[in-house]
Amino acid sequence: MNVFRYAHPAVAVVYYAIAVALPVVRSDVATSAVVLSGILLQMAVISKSVRAAAAWTATFLPFAALFVAAAMLFNRRGGHVMFQIGGWQPTYESALAGLAAALTIGAAFAAFETTGRVVPAETWLSVASGRAPNVALLLAMTVRFVPHFRRRLGEIALARRALGEAVAIAPNAFGGKTAAMRNTARLLGLLLPVALEETARTADAMTARGYGTGPRTRYRRFRFRRGDAFRTAVFAAAALPAFGVFTGENPVVSAAAAAVYALLPMVFASPGFSGRPRFLRGRLPRGSRDARRSGFLRAKSDAGRTWGKKQWR
């Protein structure tokens, strides 16, 4: 389940930007830990399995240990000495500072990764296509063709092997390294005409469908609606106490506020709460009247209906 599925991608971007900023500004262990675990929880929810979050944690832990060790080695501040080996007196404060730094960086990386999961590359492109439609199209096609040609390269290698040639990228190829490299170069040479032919066909398809016949419209999938603005505002407001705006420097309160912030999307962006807030309801966003007539909006909201209570209103 994607907690931001029902919102404009910008909402997710703002949310995670705040989530990255929070530990950086606060730089205390509790807040950072809360934010990080919240984001990991979201990651698990979004990918519908604990595995991704667990794998992430597994790579993070040694990294965190390294950070703490480095802090203990080089950070001389603090009054509570842990132990003493020769002239080296690591302090609890330095270890905590190292942990906080590790958690802050960890939270940032986790936030990037989760943003990537919530807002896939195509969505970025489709949002960007308003500004530079041709660049966006080019990028989108590149994104599509890279895996395609990688697959085709594999198929060509297979065909060569079927005709008894040893091919480098194959797992059980034989022959020395030079032979392998020569083979690979040759395979790429074989891919080139295939790629050209296939792109020519795609170009045909584009021409057949009116590409380059004049100015094009942009058919936006994502519109920043009032509900999105509202949600962004709520997220920003919820982050304020965690930043210490009304609460001062109390780390416990700040961590609690951070926990609220981290859990907020689960509740707030879930399908049940997907609609506009009550005071905005009854008015459709601009430009959707035609769509409503065509039955499209109805069909679209049907998907979320069983979750919410709107069905019976």
Q: Kindly tell me which of 85 and 162 has the beta carbon lying closer to another protein.
A: 162
Q: What's the min distance (Å) between Cβ of 215 and another protein? A: 6
Q: Kindly tell me which of 80 and 293 has the beta carbon lying closer to another protein.
A: 293
Q: What's the min distance (Å) between Cβ of 282 and another protein? A: 21
Binding site for another protein (CB under 8 A): 122, 126, 140-141, 143-144, 147-148, 152, 155-156, 158-167, 170, 172-174, 186, 190, 193-194, 197-198, 201-202, 204-221, 287, 290-291, 293-296, 299
Q: What's the min distance (Å) between Cβ of 256 and another protein? A: 37
Q: Kindly tell me which of 179 and 260 has the beta carbon lying closer to another protein.
A: 179
Place of tokens 């404060």: 93
The answer to whether 304 and 6 have CB atoms below 8 angstroms apart is yes
Helix H or strand E segment including 157: helix 133-162
Q: Residue 80: CB partners within 8 Å, gap ≥ 6?
A: 91, 92, 93
134 token code pair: 């041709």
The answer to whether 93 and 77 have CB atoms below 8 angstroms apart is yes
Backbone φ and ψ for 259, nearest 5 degrees, come out as: -65, -40
144-164 CB burial, b ≥16 within 10 A, e <16? eeeeebeebbeebbeebeeee
Q: Kindly tell me which of 282 and 295 has the beta carbon lying closer to another protein.
A: 295
3-state class (DSSP) for residue 81: strand
Q: Which of 227, 217, 309, 218 is nearest to 268 (CA)?
A: 227
123 token code pair: 């969505």
Q: What's the min distance (Å) between Cβ of 188 and another protein? A: 12
Place of tokens 């962006």: 269
Q: Kindly tell me which of 156 and 257 has the beta carbon lying closer to another protein.
A: 156
Start-to-end CA span in the chain (Å): 26
How many Cβ atoms from other residues are within 10 Å of residue 170's Cβ? 16
Q: Kindly tell me which of 32 and 129 has the beta carbon lying closer to another protein.
A: 129
Q: Kindly tell me which of 294 and 311 has the beta carbon lying closer to another protein.
A: 294
Q: What's the min distance (Å) between Cβ of 93 and another protein? A: 44
- Measured CA to CA, the distance from residue 52 to residue 163 in angstroms comes to 41
Q: What's the min distance (Å) between Cβ of 250 and another protein? A: 44
Q: What's the min distance (Å) between Cβ of 63 and another protein? A: 24
